[in-house]
Amino acid sequence: MLEEFKKFALRGNVVDLAVGVVIGAAFGKIVESLVSDVFMPIIGAVTGGLDFSNYYIRLSSAIPAGLSYADAKKQGAVLGWGNFVTISINFIIVAFVLFLVIRAMNRMKTKAEEAPKVAETPADVLVLTEIRDLLASRPARP
C-alpha cells in the first residue's frame, strides 16, 4: 500500500498540481499587496481619501462609533462591507491577469499551429524522382 501511495504521490500530474498550488498562493499574496498597497490608495485618493477596508456597519449597540474595522470586530458583530469591496477588487484583478496570461498562451499556441510545416519528402519518392530524372536524361532510342 505504501508503494502504491508513493506512485500516486510522485506521479507527474500530482507534482504539477502541487507546484501550481504553491505558485498560486504566492501569486495571490502578490495580487493582495498590489490591491491593498497600490490600487486601493489610488482609489482612495481619487474618491477623496476613502479607505474601503475600514467601512463597516455596526450590528451591535455595544460597539462605539469611530473605531477601526479591526477594533470593532473585536468588540462585537460588524458587517465589513468595505473589506468585501477590497476583496472583490482583488478577485477582479486576479481574474483579469489570469485571462491575459491564458489569452497570450492561446495566441502563442495558435501561432505555433499556423507556422508552415516543411514536410520531408519520403525516401521512396526521392528514389523514384532520381530514377525519373536519370531516365529523362538518357538519349532517346531510335
Give the predicted TM-score (pTM) of the model: 0.52
Could you list the residue range(s) of the whole structural domain that residue 6 is in? Answer: 2-135
pLDDT at 123 over 80: yes
In this structure, what C-alpha cell is assigned to residue 131?
A: 530514377
Whether the predicted pLDDT of 51 surpasses 70: no
For residue 83, is it within any domain? yes
pLDDT digits (tens, 9 = 90+) for 85-116: 878 877 887 788 778 888 988 888 887 777 66
66: left (phi over 0), alpha (psi -120 to 50) or beta: left
Task: Tell me if 62 is assigned to some domain.
Answer: yes
Is the residue at 72 inside a domain?
yes
Mean pLDDT of the chain: 82
Does 142 reside within a domain?
Answer: no
Tell the residue number behind the cell numbers 508513493, with chain if given: 6
12 located within any domain: yes
CATH number of the domain bearing residue 93? 1.10.1200.120
Residue 29 grid cell:
499574496
pLDDT digits (tens, 9 = 90+) for 12-22: 677 778 888 88
**Residues sharing a CB contact under 8 Å with residue 58, sequence separation 6 or more, in sequence order:** 65, 72, 76, 78
Task: Return the higher-pLDDT residue of 114 and 58.
Answer: 58
Tell me, what's the pLDDT at 12? 66
| Residue 31, H or E segment | helix 12-34
Domain count, the chain: 1
Q: Is there a domain that residue 21 lies in? A: yes
Cell of 80: 465589513
> Is 48 within the bounds of a domain?
yes
Residue 140, in any domain of the structure? no
At 40 the pLDDT is 73
